Structure 1
Amino acid sequence: MTATATFHDLKDASVYITGGGSGIGADLTDGFLGQGAKVAFIGRSDASDFVDAMAEKHGRAPLFLQGDITDTDRLRATVAEAAEAHGPVQVLVSNAANDKRHNWLELTPEEWDSLLAVNLKAYLFAAQAVAPGMISAGAGSIINFSSISYMMGNAGYPAYTAANGGITAMTRSLARELGPDGIRVNALAPGWVLTEKQLEKWATPEGLAAHLDRQCLKTHLEPRDIVDAVLFMASATSRMMTGQCLVVDGGVVTTG
């Protein structure tokens, strides 16, 4: 990860990231550690090797809390553990998601509930878990990952696009709920970021070329493009920004 800016107020900040041990989440953990933050993250799979690598790189290890974000009791417990270790959470990044492709005609109610539990429900309860500490402090930043997929009306994963539309709407409502307490709530909608998962599962040469043709900027997005935006939204540099959905997609969709 190449540092392009230093946000001095993030040094020693208590940061909690969902899915912070893999994919873009791992890059977020790396990015916040690079700013000197104290990072805790929840993930289902063992992340010991990643924790060791981050400790070697930054001289401090992130706190890995194993769990499933759809288990609300465990999610709440890990937020409490993070607060115990690093102080009350000042920055929440709800990043974990599942963009599994599915045929809506064959989707079962159980599959729908499972996908919405990951992609929407956990976002609300993560915010609920960090809110008391932020309210006591009179400040905080909550960043919810959405996606341009619902803005584009993409086919192939309607539960995912429905959840992302819901994330943006919920973000605006929570900004109203928490604004009087000095807490900012924003969403980030990335475009097609070429992670290892995307390259392995869905990024065909034809698909990549077609998507690049839609972009104003003719360069594929990399994880650092998303990390830099999140650091900005977490920092007091964006102190009067709330209730917004920031799109980082190279210019595929337009907002406003």
Structure 2
Amino acid sequence: MTRHARFPDLDGASVFVTGGGSGIGAAFTDGLMAQGAKVAFVQRSDGTAFCDAMERAHGTRPLFLPCDITDTPALQAAIAQAAAQHGDIDVLVNNAANDKRHSTMEVDEAFWDWSQAINLKSYFFAAQSVLPGMRKAGRGSIVNLSSISYMMGNAGYPAYTTANGGITALTRSLAREFGPDGIRVNALAPGWVFTEKQIALWATEEGVAAHLARQCLPRMLKPDEMVEPLLFLASEASRAMTGQAMAVDGGVVVSG
């Protein structure tokens, strides 16, 4: 467990994280629990061992709800169950994604629909599910995980980058629609973060060297380095910030 800056308003907050038991999502769950948040998360794979580790680290256990996020009714039911146990969701972290590599010419309709269902559709319906509770409370924070891959114009996964661009557009539209209700919606766009999956599947020596050469900070980014940006966006520390896409990538893309 890494020590992070404290965000007192997250203590006791009801937080829902998609894909919260592995990769960057696991770092998010750990970091949020260290703040005292009540965390529920969904994923397809068994999260029991991870929950055991979190209980040893924090003295409390996250609520793990097995769920395929492409099954919208199941996702909605999981959010309802989390709200029933922890209270209406204060913070939604739309994190789950799949960046399986593919070329344009090999994509068929089934793959396209599968990719959008994971990487974009689930974000919309998770947000739709938490918004009534946030409106009732007059506050709330939704953080949508995007990626700098679409900002860079990367080839190699066009369905995924299309969804990333859609996440930014969705973020802006929801921020505009629900700002009057006190609800903030922002996107967090990591660079290449070297999770176990990334290292195992795609981190070739040549590819890593080429990417690090693009970064102002020429080192491999770790999942834990995404936690404090997430905590900032989730908390009242960013209370005047909404509709934004914040890149945390070691200095590859720039805005402004």
Q: Is the TM-score greater than 0.5?
A: yes
Gap regions ≥5 residues in structure 2: none
In the alignment, residue 204 of structure 1 is paired with which amino acid?
T
In the alignment, residue 140 of structure 2 is paired with which amino acid?
G
Flag as ranges the 4+ runs of structure 1 deviating above 4 A: none
Q: Higher mean Cα deviation, 99-108 or 239-248?
A: 99-108
SS of the aligned residue for 2:24 comes to helix
Instruction: State the percentage of identical aligned residues.
Output: 66
Contact 2:19 2:41 in 1 (8 A): yes
Aligned residues: 256
The answer for the alignment partner of 2:76 in structure 1 is: 76
Q: How far did residue 46 of structure 1 move?
A: 0.9
In the alignment, residue 18 of structure 2 is paired with which amino acid?
T
CA distance in 1, matches of 2:115, 2:96: 12
Describe the superposition over 1:120-165 as per-residue Cα deviations: whole angstroms up to 9, x where unpaired. 0000000000000000000000000000000011001000000000
Q: How far did residue 220 of structure 1 move?
A: 1.7
In the alignment, residue 20 of structure 1 is paired with which amino acid?
G
Q: How far did residue 3 of structure 1 move?
A: 1.8
SS of the aligned residue for 1:16 comes to strand
Q: Higher mean Cα deviation, 221-230 or 32-41?
A: 221-230
For residues 49-198 of structure 1, the aligned pairs below 5 Å read 49-198=49-198
Question: Are positions 1:20 and 2:11 aligned together?
Answer: no
Q: How far did residue 4 of structure 1 move?
A: 2.9
SS of the aligned residue for 2:219 comes to coil
The answer for the alignment partner of 2:220 in structure 1 is: 220
Describe the superposition over 1:176-214 as per-residue Cα deviations: whole angstroms up to 9, x where unpaired. 011000000000100000110011011111111111110
The answer for the alignment partner of 1:40 in structure 2 is: 40
In the alignment, residue 74 of structure 2 is paired with which amino acid?
R
Q: How far did residue 166 of structure 1 move?
A: 0.4
CA distance in 1, matches of 2:106, 2:4: 45
Gap regions ≥5 residues in structure 1: none
Q: How far did residue 217 of structure 1 move?
A: 1.1
Q: Output the aligned Cα RMSD.
A: 0.7
Q: How far did residue 225 of structure 1 move?
A: 1.3
SS of the aligned residue for 2:75 comes to helix
CA distance in 2, matches of 1:215, 1:21: 28
Contact 2:4 2:31 in 1 (8 A): no
CA distance in 2, matches of 1:84, 1:106: 43
SS of the aligned residue for 2:105 comes to coil
